[in-house]
Structure 1
Amino acid sequence: MKHKLWWMFILFFILPLAGFITTTYFVTNGEVLPLDKALLNLVKPIESAFLTKFMSFFSHLGSTGPVVVLSFIFLAIIYVLYRKKDEVLLFVIVSLGSTGINQNLKFVFKRERPFEQIVVENGFSYPSGHTMAAVSLYGIVTFLFWRHISTVWGRILLIILSSIMISVIGFSRIYLRVHYPSDIVAAFLVSGMWLFVSISIYQYVMEKRYEKRRI
């Protein structure tokens, strides 16, 4: 069991941390900028009025207002269906923590957004707040509902839907040229680490509570 936990720590924390440090090094030194711009240019040929509206809609789902509304909906479902106050608390901690981490990182790195934006966005670029919000929201939703879904197909559907939402929201920020691809990569890595740490602490606390009840 301890061996398994060690490998999970390496896979979901050490490797993402190394990836974030490496990405940040190239971003702060400007070495990744040519690649970022080249990737943005690759997306330009697929631009269309319909796709812009489509991507704008999904991008909006990652903004503060919709995320708050969706969070309240998921919180209500979790509490009404399962009466798990500890799961509600975990949900709140993950969501608020993700926002706090993102704002602090943006303030530290102060990276400017791409110049040619399809939609106008203010604030700093690195890492993507919309993407971090999406990863945190749908990541914790997947973890919490997975625990209560007993069927294999139900769990597969949960993972597919969450993965689609995270991927499309992340790509929409690149398509709309309000973020560089490296902003999205960093957001995935940071949010992944935050989810792993939060869930690990939650499971540790729950196991300790269970052990105390058995005594």
Structure 2
Amino acid sequence: MLTLIQDNQQLTLLISLIVFVMVFLWTLQHSAIAYGDKLQARLFEYGRALATKFEIKQRLAKFKVSHPKLYHFFWQRLNIEHFYGLPLTALVLVMGYILSLFIGLVEDVVTSDSIVAIDHFVSQQMSVLSDSVVIDFFILITSLGSTPTTALVILLTSILCWMIAQRYLIVGLLIATIGSTAFTYLSKLLFQRDRPLDILLLEQTYSFPSGHATISIALYGFIAYLAVRFGKQFITQIRVVALTVFLCILIGLSRIVLNEHYLSDVMGGYLVGTLWLTVAISVMEWLTAKDKINWEVTWSSSRVYFVWFSVLSVLIATVIYANLSQFPLLQ
């Protein structure tokens, strides 16, 4: 057994990584379902205790008297009763933080910081797996982020939004996908980073950031957002999020295993996708505040059947695309 592991160190580490991610996500999912309500109540309790200890109410009252305009401005930013308050503030802060992370990553890549050395080391390790049995699996996974497959997903999602008479949702879908795709394309032209030497599948574009990683977060993340928003049960919502995160991780990992991208390319793609997903969600919540979107939709049998038809169609199309456009490149 030890000899087998030693002879297949890269494959063992890869499988161990996937198992670790699965266990980690399952643990988070289980903890959120089992202890989510208790944790929320405990946090509110601690918040009230801290407010009492530091006399926050008294200090706020004094600040309101001494600086009424500034107090009103900050209070509006923290108001949870309307979208332009705390929800918009949180979304702007998230977008700013993600953008700063992306800028920092770009700086590391451009200046050939330590991340570049890690990129090449990981790429060399993945080259050993070029003849491994896992390559076929990851080609199927990476096909979920291909242009034909994602275009089909966007089309079917748009049709579903039209069927349920929530056409404004298509706006958010297009913002997430077209915005992230255009941003990624321009970034590739700007940085012009070459792909790894031992690339398995032919690609015509530059490497940074990864378009597959970007679209996986932007597209499948937006669909998960829709599922959570339309969902009624907290357990189902948590499971949808966990499954989507796992899918996005697999798609990003497939780009590294197939040596289509460096590790930092995938990280950059995740950040770009998350940025545009946040923008799309912000627009959706703004339209919701304007009563343009109704999340209390009745899911008739025909609509549910269309959802399952769409899922099955995407899976079949993915297999067909992988076999006709991807696998022949390895021969």
TM-score > 0.5 by shorter chain: yes
**What is aligned with 2:226?**
144
**Partners in 2 of 1:7 and 1:71 — Cα distance?**
28
**What is aligned with 2:273?**
191
Q: Report the RMSD for the aligned CA atoms in angstroms.
A: 1.9
Aligned-residue offset at 1:110: 0.8
**Partners in 1 of 2:133 and 2:157 — Cα distance?**
30
**What is aligned with 1:9?**
92
Cα deviations across residues 134-187 of structure 1 (Å, max 9, x unaligned)? 111111101112111101222122112211221111000000011000001111
**What is aligned with 1:163?**
245
- Map residues 13-162 of structure 1 onto 2, 5 A cutoff: 13-31=95-113, 32-44=115-127, 48-80=131-163, 82-162=164-244
1:77 aligned partner, one-letter code: L
Greater length-normalized contact order (CA 8 Å, ≥ 6 residues apart): 1
Mapped contact 2:193–2:208 kept (Cα < 8 A): yes
1:2 aligned partner, one-letter code: R
**Partners in 1 of 2:250 and 2:201 — Cα distance?**
17
2:77 aligned partner, one-letter code: K
**Partners in 1 of 2:166 and 2:172 — Cα distance?**
10
Cα deviations across residues 65-97 of structure 1 (Å, max 9, x unaligned)? 0100122222223332x3201112221222111
* Secondary structure at the counterpart of residue 33 of structure 1: helix
2:140 aligned partner, one-letter code: F
Cα deviations across residues 91-142 of structure 1 (Å, max 9, x unaligned)? 1222111211111111111111011112222210010011111111111101
Please say which of residues 142-151 and 71-80 is displaced more in the overlay. 71-80
After TM superposition, where is structure 1 displaced by more than 4 Å over at least 4 residues in a row?
44-48
Percentage of pairs with the same residue: 24
TM-score, normalised relative to structure 1: 0.88
Aligned-residue offset at 1:29: 1.6
**Partners in 1 of 2:254 and 2:241 — Cα distance?**
20
Unpaired segments ≥5 residues, structure 2: 1-75, 79-85, 293-331
* Secondary structure at the counterpart of residue 230 of structure 2: coil
- In 2 relative to 1, CA 137–121 (structure 1 residues): closer, same or farther, beyond 3 Å? same
TM-score, normalised relative to structure 2: 0.59
User: Would you say how many aligned residue pairs link Structure 1 and Structure 2?
Assistant: 208
**Partners in 2 of 1:159 and 1:47 — Cα distance?**
32
**Partners in 2 of 1:90 and 1:33 — Cα distance?**
35
Aligned-residue offset at 1:19: 1.1
Aligned-residue offset at 1:8: 4.3
